[in-house]
Amino acid sequence: MRSVVGAVLTLALLAALGPGMVPASAQVEGPPDALPESLFRQVTDLARTRAETPYEPPAEVVPNALREMTYDQYRSIRFRPEAALWRGQARFEVQFFHPGFLFPHPVTVFVVNDGELRELAFDPDLFRYEAEAEGLAAAGRGDLGFAGLRLHYPLNRPEYLDEVVVFLGASYFRLVGPGQVYGLSSRGLAIDTALPTGEEFPAFRTFWLFRPKPDADRITILALLDSPSVTGAYRFDLQAGNAVTVAVDKRLFARTDVAKLGIAPLTSMFAFGEASARGVDDFRPRVHDSEGLMMHTAAGEWIWRPLTNPVRLRGSSLRDAERPRGFGLVQRSRAFSDYLDLEAEYHRRPSQWVTPIDGDWGAGGVELVEIPAGDETSDNIAAYWVSDTPFRAGDRRQYRYRLTLFDDTPPGDPPARVVRTRSGWGAVPGAADPPPRSLRRYVVDFAGGELDGLGADAVVEPRLEARSGTIDDLHARRLPDDAGWRATFLLAPEDGEAADLRLVLTRDGRPVTETWNHVWYPDER
C-alpha cells in the first residue's frame, strides 16, 4: 500500500507541471509519504525544476461563454454549501469558485487524506446557476478546475461556519478573524510593483489541501506559484479560533533577473481619512480599509506612517539594517462613529501583521506604495519587504514569517501611539500679513503607554527630525481629560522639496511613544 500511495503522490505532483513539461530531474526517488513535510519538499523540487525551463503561460481551457460572462452573471453562480469539501466531517470545510469572468485561468486542487492524494474535478453540479447565469452549466466540463477556494470555520459561534480565508486571483488571499469583515488582502509575492516597466503578477497554479482531524483548529495548505520571472513553493499553516494566524514558509526560484522582489505583500485601500489634506464631498468622515503602516524595527523602534490618497503615485521605504521584528497595515480606528457606514462596516476591517521568523531577509526596507484613487472601489495601497540584495536568474530564496490578524494593537508591546494627525495652513486667524499658503501647521496627538496618568506638570518633550524645510514653534502639551499629549509644529517647506518628518515624544531624553513619520510633498495642500 505504501508504494501505491507513493506512486500516486509522485504522479500527481508531476502532473502539476503541465503537459509535456515533466523532466526526468523532477522524479522523486522512493515512495514518499503524505506528510506535509515530505510533500512540501516535492513541491519545492517542482518549483526549482520549473524555474530551469522557459515560462509557459497557462493553457486557455475556459470556454468563451464563461470567459465572457458579465459581472451580474458571475454573481449569479453560487457554490452549493451542502457540497462543501469535508462537510460535517471537520470544523473546516472548503467551498470553491467557478472559473470564468475575471478568472480565466483555473487552479488545480488536490486533497491529501490518510496518505492518499486525489484531484478534485470541476463539476457543474457543485454550483447553482441562477437568474442571468441560467444555461451556463452546460459550458463547464470536468477538466476545467476552479477559479479559487475559500475555507470556512466556526469563528464567531459554534453552529455557524464563517469564511476565514479566500484564495482567489493571481497570488491573492484574504483573511478574516472573529468579529471582522473582509478588508485588506495578502499576496504570495509582489514583482516590480510601481516600476515604469509594469508590474508582474505571479499566480498560484496548484493547491494541496491536507484534511484536518475532525476537531482540529489548524489546517495545512501547500501551493505552487509560477510567473515569467519566479517560481515558488508555499506552505500555509492556518490556525483559527480566538485569533487567526498563518505561518508561511516559501521557497522562491528566479527564472530571470527581478528588478524588485516584494516579500509578504499586503494590499489595501485608503480613499480619505482624518489626515487627508483634500476635502471630500461625502457624509462619511473616513473611508479606508487601513489607515496606517506600522513597523517594528530590528533595533526596537516602533514607527507609524499615516496613509494618504496622493495626487500622484508615491513610493517610499522604511529602512532597516537587518530583518525587522514586524510590519503591517493597521485599521486603528474601531468605532462606528469614526466611519458612519452601515453597509461597508469599515470599523470592522481587519489589521494584519507580518512577523519575520527566519530566511533571507537581510538589510532592506518596508516599501510603501500609495496610488491615486478616485473612490473606494480600487485598492491603492501596497506594503512589502524589499531586500537590498538583488534577486538574479538562478538564485534561490527562502522566507518564513507569520501573519497575524488583529484589531488595533499588533503583537509585541508597542508604546504610546498616535491617535490623531491633523495639518493645515499655518496662518494665525486675522493676521494682517499672513504667511504663504505653503506654511503648514501639524498637530499630532499621542495616548496610552507611559503617557497615561501623567500630570500637567510632567515634562514631556517632542523630538522632531526633518530632512528638508524649516521647523518652528515645536512644543508638546497635555490634552484635556487625560486624553493624551499633543505635539505641534510649523513646517516651512523648501521650494520644490519633499519633507520627510519624524516625531517622537520623550521623557528624560528617552522615547516613550512610537515614531510618527510623514512625508510632505509640494503638491500636498
Q: How far apart are CA 268 and CA 186, in angstroms?
A: 9
**Which pLDDT belongs to residue 277?**
59
Q: Residue 399: beta bridge partners?
A: 250, 359
> Cell 496606517 maps to which residue?
292
The angle formed by the CA atoms of residues 393, 396 and 401, to the nearest 5 degrees, is: 135
Can you tell me the distance from the alpha carbon of 76 to that of 381, in angstroms, rounded to the nearest whole number? 30
Query: How many other C-beta atoms can be found within 10 angstroms of the C-beta atom of residue 505?
Result: 26
Q: What is the pLDDT, as a whole number, of residue 525? A: 59
pTM: 0.93
Cell of residue 525, nine digits: 495642500
The alpha carbon of 476 is separated from its chain's Cα centroid by a whole number of angstroms, namely 35
The reported pLDDT for the residue numbered 23 is 40
> Do residues 270 and 289 make contact, with C-beta atoms less than 8 angstroms apart?
yes
Among candidates 473, 342, 329, which has minimal Cα distance to 410?
329
Instruction: Tell me the C-alpha to C-alpha distance, in Å, between residue 157 and each of 63, 154, 162, 345.
Output: 40, 6, 9, 20
pLDDT at 275: 74
Q: How far is CA 133 from CA 30, 60, 236, 516, in A?
A: 48, 21, 34, 51
Inter-residue long-range contacts of 466-469, CB under 8 Å, 24+ positions, other chains counted? 466/491, 466/499, 466/500, 466/501, 466/502, 467/498, 467/499, 467/500, 467/501, 468/493, 468/494, 468/497, 468/498, 468/499, 468/500, 469/493, 469/494, 469/497, 469/499, 469/520
Half-sphere exposure of 357 (CA within 13 A, CB side): 12
CA–CA dist 512, 503 (Å, integer): 11
433: DSSP letter: S
* pLDDT, position 52: 97
**Amino acid present at 65:** A
Each of the 525 residues of the chain gets a pLDDT tens digit; together they read 222 334 445 544 555 544 333 343 333 333 444 589 999 999 999 999 999 999 999 999 999 999 999 999 999 999 999 999 999 999 999 999 999 999 999 999 999 998 789 999 999 999 999 999 998 999 987 778 999 999 999 999 999 999 999 999 999 999 999 999 999 999 999 999 999 999 999 999 999 999 999 999 999 999 999 999 999 999 999 999 999 999 999 999 999 999 999 999 999 999 999 877 567 889 999 999 999 999 999 999 999 999 999 999 999 999 999 999 999 999 999 999 999 999 999 999 999 999 999 999 999 999 999 999 999 999 999 999 999 999 999 999 999 999 999 999 999 999 999 999 999 999 999 888 899 999 999 999 999 999 998 988 899 999 999 999 999 999 999 999 989 999 999 999 998 899 999 999 999 999 999 999 999 998 775
Q: Is the dihedral of CA 192, 194, 200, 205 positive or negative?
A: positive
Helix residue ranges, H only, 252-360: none
Dist. CA 306–CA 418, nearest whole Å:
9
Angle between helices 2-15 and 36-51 (to 10 degrees): 30
